[in-house]
C-alpha cells in the first residue's frame, strides 16, 4: 500500500465508486475502504431477476451488475481496495487524515465519506433470505414489479403512507400495516385513505413472520402483544421503517444534522477542510443511484481542487474553486 494516499474513500457504493473513478483518472492515488461493493444498490436488486430501470443508459440492469461495472472501471484507472470497516477517523497536525479500520490504519491527504445509510430491518426470521425475492425497502424502485399484484407495506409515518399511496396506483391491493394509528396519531389517516379504495389499513399491528418458498408468498401479522395473529397472502412486502446513518464515529470530526447525516454544501464540502461527503450519508434530500454517482463525481473534483490549491497547482473549474477556496482551506463554512 502507498504510505499516504492522495484520497481515501470510505464506502463502496455508487457514490464511493464514482468518486474513485474520477480521482484515479485525475492521477490521484486512491484507496476505497469498504466492507462490500454495491451498497444500497444491492439491497433492492441483488438477484438476476431484479433490475434497476432508472439509471441512464441502461433500460434494465441489476444492481450487482451496475456496481460491478463501477468497480472494474475504478480498478482500471488504478484505485486500490481495502475490504474493511472504518472505525475511527482523525486529523493530525500535518493535516493528514488517519482512518482506523478493522484491517489496520490508512493515511490520506483528503477524505471522501460515501458509505451510505442502512435500511432498518424488521428483524423477523428469513428477512435476509427474501430480500430481493419479495421483500423490498424501496417502493419507487420496485413499482413496476407490483403491477396487478397484492402487496403489503409495514411501517409508520409519512414514508409508509407515501409508499402505500404510490403502490396503490399499480397494485391490485395494498395492505398498509401501520405501527401507529392509536391515540396521538399525528397524521390524519382518514384523509389520507380518501379515494384509495384498494388500500386496506391495519393499525397497531406488525409483521411477525414472512413465509414462502423461493419468494414471499404470505405474511403473518399480529397485534402489539401477539394477539389477533392471521396470515395474509401477498406477493411483496415493503418495509418502511426508515434508514440509519451510522455516523457515531464522525461526531466531533465533521458537522452532522439532527438525523446524523453529514452536512455538505453544493460542492460536497463538509465542515472540515479536506473532507468531502457524497451520496446517501449526506443531508441531501433525494436518494437514487444516479444522484449518488453524481455526488461522488462532485466530491472527487472538489478533493482534486483542494489538493491542487495546497500544492500550488491549477484547479479544475477555477471559478467555483475561487468562490469556495476559503471554505475548502479553513473548513469553517462561513
Domain boundaries, the chain: 5-117+245-330, 120-240
- Superfamily name with CATH number, domain 120-240: FAD/NAD(P)-binding domain (3.50.50.60)
Return d(Cα 82, Cα 78) in angstroms, integer. Answer: 13
5-117+245-330 and 120-240, same CATH topology: yes
pLDDT of 332 strictly over 60: no
Please give the model's pTM, rounded to 2 decimal places.
0.70
Q: How confident is the model at residue 46 (pLDDT cuts 50, 70, 90)?
A: very low
Q: What is the pLDDT of residues 225-254, one digit of tens each?
A: 878 899 999 999 999 887 777 899 999 999
State the average pLDDT for the chain.
87
Least confident window among 14-28, 56-70, 208-222: 56-70
pLDDT of 107 strictly over 70: yes
Least confident window among 184-193, 239-248, 283-292: 184-193
Q: Which CATH class is domain 5-117+245-330?
A: alpha beta
Amino acid at each position: 500500500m502507498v504510505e499516504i494516499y492522495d484520497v481515501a474513500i470510505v464506502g463502496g457504493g455508487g457514490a464511493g465508486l464514482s468518486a474513485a473513478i474520477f480521482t484515479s483518472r485525475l492521477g490521484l492515488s486512491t484507496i476505497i475502504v469498504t466492507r462490500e461493493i454495491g451498497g444500497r444498490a444491492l439491497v433492492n436488486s441483488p438477484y438476476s431477476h431484479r433490475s434497476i430501470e432508472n439509471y441512464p443508459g441502461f433500460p434494465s440492469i441489476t444492481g450487482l451488475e451496475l456496481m460491478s461495472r463501477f468497480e472494474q472501471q475504478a480498478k482500471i484507472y488504478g484505485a486500490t481496495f481495502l475490504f474493511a470497516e472504518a472505525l475511527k477517523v482523525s486529523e493530525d497536525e500535518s493535516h493528514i487524515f488517519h482512518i482506523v479500520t478493522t484491517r489496520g490504519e490508512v493515511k490520506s491527504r483528503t477524505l471522501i465519506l460515501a458509505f451510505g445509510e442502512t435500511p432498518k430491518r424488521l428483524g423477523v426470521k428469513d428477512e435476509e433470505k427474501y430480500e430481493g425475492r419479495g421483500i423490498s425497502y424501496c417502493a419507487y424502485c420496485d413499482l413496476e414489479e407490483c403491477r396487478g399484484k397484492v402487496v403489503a407495506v409495514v411501517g409508520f409515518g409519512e414514508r409508509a403512507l407515501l409508499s402505500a399511496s404510490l403502490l396503490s396506483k399499480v397494485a391490485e391491493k395494498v395492505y398498509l400495516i401501520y405501527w401507529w394509528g392509536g391515540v396521538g396519531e399525528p397524521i390524519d389517516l382518514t384523509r389520507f385513505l380518501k379515494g384509495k379504495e384498494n388500500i386496506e389499513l391495519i393499525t397497531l399491528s406488525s409483521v411477525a413472520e414472512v413465509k414462502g418458498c423461493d419468494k414471499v408468498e404470505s405474511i403473518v401479522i399480529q397485534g402489539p402483544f401477539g394477539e389477533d395473529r392471521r396470515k395474509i397472502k401477498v406477493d411483496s412486502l415493503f418495509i418502511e421503517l426508515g434508514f440509519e446513518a451510522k455516523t457515531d464515529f464522525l461526531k466531533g470530526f465533521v458537522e452532522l444534522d439532527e438525523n446524523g447525516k453529514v452536512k455538505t454544501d453544493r460542492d460536497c464540502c463538509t465542515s472540515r477542510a479536506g473532507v468531502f461527503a457524497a451520496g446517501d450519508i449526506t443531508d441531501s434530500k433525494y436518494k437514487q443511484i444516479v444522484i449518488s454517482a453524481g455526488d461522488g463525481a462532485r466530491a472527487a473534483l472538489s478533493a482534486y481542487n483542494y489538493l491542487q490549491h495546497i500544492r500550488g497547482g491549477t484547479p479544475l473549474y477555477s471559478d467555483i474553486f475561487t468562490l469556495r477556496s476559503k471554505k475548502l482551506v479553513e473548513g469553517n463554512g462561513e
